Chain A
Amino acid sequence: MRITKLTLALLTLVGLAAVAGYIGGPSSQAATTLDDRVNAHWKGASQLTPTGAGPNPTRCGPFPENVEVTFTGGGIDTGGGIFDSAASACTNTTTGRIFDLKSTDTYHGGGSVLIETDPFTPVLNPATCASTNVQAVGFRVAGGTGAYAGATGQGRFHLASNDPACNGLLVPARVSFEGVLQLAQ
């Protein structure tokens, strides 16, 4: 009980310290935004878990060679803070190519951005069962909602996922990105 109280007190202290930093510490107002609408240092990371897969010939092409996969997850970025992600993509099961990947990132503070990415083919390392992009993958901001309605921008992201067929492990895929986010208003 005493230890619990001490831990809580210390965590509260950390919170207060963070508040102190929040109030008196450095702020990114000048560092990360050229003006109120452009974030030239947009960056963040997220994790995604597959939630479903199935045919969608209209979007992805003939099944079963092509499969539509959906994901959910969340992360944090410098454009809006904590966000939840709902993503979907097509994958060619013969080549491993992933295409028409779209993600809606909804910020807990309100508003969302729609992300559209270039196609890419992850490469699997059979020694580690990690599957990653070889080169940075381009993406674009295709609008949004709330404060992000009409938003534009672009960036590059990296993806790392574990192949459960390789080692039996089910762990979330990881994404990190950096780019520019420009608000319309």
Chain B
Amino acid sequence: MLVALVGLASLAGYSKGATSQAAKMDDGVNANWRGTESFSLTNAGPNVARCGAFPENIELSFSGSGIDTEGGAFNVTASACTNTTTNEIFDLKATDTYVPSGDQVFIEADSFVQVINPANCVATNSHAVMGRVAGGTGARAGATGHARFHFANNVTPCNGQNAPAHVWFEGVFMQ
């Protein structure tokens, strides 16, 4: 019942509270695009054509979910190449599929080098990573935009623990 009450409270907020219509500059530009997601490694292997010589370079695949201010809740599939000598992550591409609408957004990120803190086994970017919107499907077909991304993930061999990686971003989305 109490959880239902909270739902009602949310509904009250939905009915009476502020809405973010004002957050969008117009229907085509979301200048306050931001969100957070988490994902887990689903596969890793060679892809010489995409990533370069194996085993120095490996293709990684991920899946997960998140929420952003453009389309709400979404599922994400992503893949990237990593150079196992330098820790560089490159050719990172992600497809975010909004759960409510089914629309997709394609993201491409600049390469970056993860920095590992051996004291707590966290790997993260030292500077914000730029990413671009490279189209989409449905209402997001032809979308453009850009954002700054941050990554934080646990290095399993460092502490033996598995945990989802987390990503968060902010930028501009245009359709």
Contact = CB atoms under 8 A, between A and B. Distances in A.
- Tell whether A pairs with B: yes
Interface of A: 6-7, 10-11, 13-22, 24-29, 31-32, 41, 43-47, 50, 52-54, 64, 67, 69, 74-82, 91, 93-96, 107-109, 121-126, 128-132, 134, 158, 160-167, 169, 171, 173-176, 178
Q: Which of A25, A53, A64, A67 has most B Cβ within 10 Å? A: A25
Contacts of B13: 93, 95-96, 122, 124, 131, 163
Nearest to A107: B120
B34 A25 contact: no
A93 B99 CA distance: 27
How many chain B residues sit at the interface, stated as a range, is 35 or more
Contacts of A80: 120
B131 interface: no
A169 B87 contact: no
Interface on chain A toward B: helix, strand, loop, or mixed SS? Answer: mixed
B157 to A, nearest CB: 4
A99 B117 CA distance: 34
Contacts of A19: 157-158
B19 A81 contact: no
B159 A91 contact: no
Given A171-B73, A176-B36, A17 B166 contact: no
Interface of B: 2-3, 5-14, 16-21, 23, 34-38, 41, 43-46, 55, 58, 60, 65-73, 82, 84-87, 98-100, 113-124, 126, 150, 152-159, 161, 163, 165-168, 170
Nearest to A177: B168
Nearest to B24: A125
A176 B170 CA distance: 11
Contacts of B17: 95-96, 121, 123-124
Contact of B124 (A28, A107, A173): A28
22 contacts: A10-B45, A13-B58, A20-B84, A21-B114, A21-B116, A21-B123, A22-B118, A25-B86, A27-B117, A28-B126, A31-B126, A43-B152, A45-B168, A67-B2, A93-B12, A121-B17, A122-B13, A128-B71, A130-B72, A160-B68, A162-B67, A163-B13
